[in-house]
Copies of this chain bind each other. A is one copy, B any other.
Amino acid sequence: MTARIVEVRQDILKKNDLLARALRSRFEEAGVFVVSLVSSPGAGKTTLLQRTLAALRSSLRVAAVVGDLQTDNDARRLAEAGVPIRQITTGTVCHLDANMLEQALEDWDLRALDVLFVENVGNLVCPASYDLGEALRVVLLSVTEGEDKPLKYPTIFGSADSAVLTKIDLADVVDFDRDAARQAIEAVRPGMDVLEVSSRSGVGLEAWINYLQAMRTHAFAVGTH
């Protein structure tokens, strides 16, 4: 039984990888920089995305796709930014996959976009294995979650390109140990870029926006786009 599950699972992942590769080519051809956000539920993906869309929309053509098991709460929250938003409702599936993203993008002219954000389902396990064709995968860790989460969920941190410590305005209130968190990230993913933001107080948001723009420029310069 176990062997059969593994086999089925590998088939699914192989299929997903092929689809993700095709998506990545489409994104490159269209010149759109695709950034995905992963985290546990409630780490602040949607709020950071709201701030990010608001900051970027005057200079860049931005849009977002958001995944959730149920509800379109996040899409409705993001729609306030006045940019194109699409919701993927996954039902009982705990992650987005390349096929869901491809379907959500149908009828969307990717050439009309500079940056596309993809907010994954809140989960620190399932999204790790599913490539979405994104250029940049960012894992969020809120200071209220505890410093050792990277050690407990190494796969998702390993699959991400950058880490953002969110709700940093609460760091003192919850006795968050910055050094311990950074050491845990470093242990799992040596050299990973780590940013700190508070979507509420605004601390770190400018650096985050600059980082995104630099990564976009870099991606185009090295020709991965």
Q: Considering the chains assembled together, what is the distance between the CA atoms of A41 and B41 in angstroms?
A: 8
B8 & A152 in contact (Cβ 8 Å cutoff)? no
Cβ-neighbour of A126 out of B5, B40, B94, B151 (below 8 A): B94
Q: Considering the chains assembled together, what is the distance between the CA atoms of A155 and B121 in angstroms?
A: 15
Q: Does A148 reach chain B (CB closer than 8 Å)?
A: yes
Closest CB of chain B to A205's CB: distance in Å? Answer: 18
Chain A residues at the B interface, C-beta cutoff of 8 Å: 1, 4-5, 8, 11-12, 40-42, 68-71, 73, 92, 94, 121-126, 142, 144-146, 148-149, 151-155, 167, 170, 173-174
Q: Considering the chains assembled together, what is the distance between the CA atoms of A40 and B92 in angstroms?
A: 16
Q: Considering the chains assembled together, what is the distance between the CA atoms of A216 and B41 in angstroms?
A: 31
A125 & B40 in contact (Cβ 8 Å cutoff)? no
17 A-B pairs within 8 Å (CB atoms) are namely A1-B8, A5-B8, A5-B12, A41-B145, A42-B144, A42-B146, A68-B152, A69-B152, A70-B153, A73-B148, A73-B152, A94-B94, A123-B125, A142-B144, A144-B167, A170-B170, A170-B173
A70 touching B146 in the complex, CB below 8 Å, given contacts A8-B5, A94-B125, A124-B41: no
Given contacts A4-B8, A41-B124, A170-B173, 8 further A-B contacts (CB under 8 A): A1-B12, A8-B8, A40-B42, A42-B149, A69-B155, A70-B154, A71-B148, A173-B173
Closest CB of chain B to A66's CB: distance in Å? Answer: 11
B1 & A152 in contact (Cβ 8 Å cutoff)? no
Closest CB of chain B to A87's CB: distance in Å? Answer: 12
Q: Considering the chains assembled together, what is the distance between the CA atoms of A125 and B70 in angstroms?
A: 12
Closest CB of chain B to A169's CB: distance in Å? Answer: 9
Closest to A145 in B: B42
Q: Considering the chains assembled together, what is the distance between the CA atoms of A219 and B92 in angstroms?
A: 31
Task: Kindly name the residue among A1, A69, A92 whose own CB sees the greatest number of chain B CB atoms within 10 A.
Answer: A69
Q: Considering the chains assembled together, what is the distance between the CA atoms of A167 and B173 in angstroms?
A: 11
Q: Considering the chains assembled together, what is the distance between the CA atoms of A8 and B5 in angstroms?
A: 7
A92 touching B155 in the complex, CB below 8 Å, given contacts A41-B149, A123-B125, A146-B42: yes
Closest CB of chain B to A163's CB: distance in Å? Answer: 14
